[in-house]
Amino acid sequence: MPQSSDYFNIPLRNLAIGNRNDFRQPGAVKAAVAEFISTLIFVFAGSGSGLAYNKLTRDGHASPAGLVSAAIAYGFALFVAVAVSANISGGHVNPAVTFGLFVGGNISLVRAISYIIAQLLGSVVACLLLALSAGTWAIPAFGLTGISVWSAFVFEIVMTFGLVYTVYATAADPKKGEIGIIAPLAIGLIVGANILAGGPFTGAAMNPAVAFGPALVSFTWTYHWIYWAGPLIGGGLAGVVYEVFFISHSHEQVHGHGDDY
């Protein structure tokens, strides 16, 4: 159990800061590796579907069929990525999810940083493997289509809010009961649904890591800040809202080791 001095009291629960020794714990290493692998799986399948569709049709996600294929690929891949890492790291697979859970006191800041680093590395490695396998460095990067910068910013905030709210309701809430069994499926489905809603406008990243890998490999940074600021704000807001309104403060919920939601 973390010492009381490790926390700053806020109106929600307690923000766990942690310390550098958290990096040295065997569980921390396993959790970071799990986040790396699950993010690699997710990004390889998601970005790979876009690359494959471009090759087959040359019109990419601009067509309805391309949009649906992206929603299915990302939704199914996230379902698997969350499921295979849930018992090790909690199955975040997304810096915005990690940040939202940190805001709610479910994970320490030190552990959150290790997760985010692992997620970013997993995304970059996935895109490098795609580039080497497909023989092209033109990995589809996220960008805006027919929409203003601020509208895109709001899109990413709202979509990520829905995603992280779903994570809280199905995985993080201590009162979730049997609904926790379908958490990976629910999380995958909300991502697929949001891609159908926001894909034609922003690409519907909802995940800084998913946007970072393709941007780095293809070296396309136009409006990249949207894919960080939007998801982090949306994820943080979801954490605040769910903690304030729906999670009982009488329950001991701070997980000092952050191995689970």
Concatenating the DSSP letter of every residue in 61-125 gives GGSHHHHHHHHHHHHHHHHHHHHHHTTTT----SHHHHHHHHHTTSS-HHHHHHHHHHHHHHHHH
In a domain, 215, yes or no: yes
Query: What's the pTM value of the predicted model, to 2 decimals?
Result: 0.88
56: part of which helix (H) or strand (E)?
A: helix 26-57
Residues of the domain holding 217: 8-246
CA neighbor of 104 nearest in space, from 254, 250, 258, 239: 239
In a domain, 181, yes or no: yes
Model confidence at 63, pLDDT cuts 50, 70, 90, reads confident
In a domain, 253, yes or no: no
CA distance 156 to 142: 12
In a domain, 132, yes or no: yes
Highest mean pLDDT among 13-22, 126-135, 182-191: 182-191
User: What is the per-residue pLDDT across 112-139, written as a single tens digit (0 to 9) for each?
Assistant: 999 999 999 999 999 999 999 988 878 8
Q: The domain spanning residue 222 has which CATH number?
A: 1.20.1080.10
Quote the mean pLDDT of the chain.
87
SS3 of residue 7 by DSSP? strand
In a domain, 55, yes or no: yes
159-195: b (≥16 Cβ within 10 Å) or e = bbbbbbbbbbbbbbbeebeeebeebbbbbbbbbbbbb
In a domain, 252, yes or no: no
In which residue are the tokens 């692992």 written?
A: 118
User: What residues does 16 pair with on adjacent strands?
Assistant: 7
CA distance 127 to 47: 7
User: What is the per-residue pLDDT across 162-171, written as a single tens digit (0 to 9) for each?
Assistant: 999 999 999 9
User: What is the per-residue pLDDT across 27-51, written as a single tens digit (0 to 9) for each?
Assistant: 889 999 999 999 999 999 999 988 8
Q: What letter represents residue 222's amino acid?
A: T
Structure tokens at 191: 């991502």
Model confidence at 72, pLDDT cuts 50, 70, 90, reads very high
In a domain, 184, yes or no: yes
Kindly give the pairing relationship between strand 7-9 and strand 14-16: antiparallel
Number of domains within the chain:
1
Q: What letter represents residue 259's amino acid?
A: D
User: What is the per-residue pLDDT across 190-208, written as a single tens digit (0 to 9) for each?
Assistant: 999 999 999 999 999 999 9
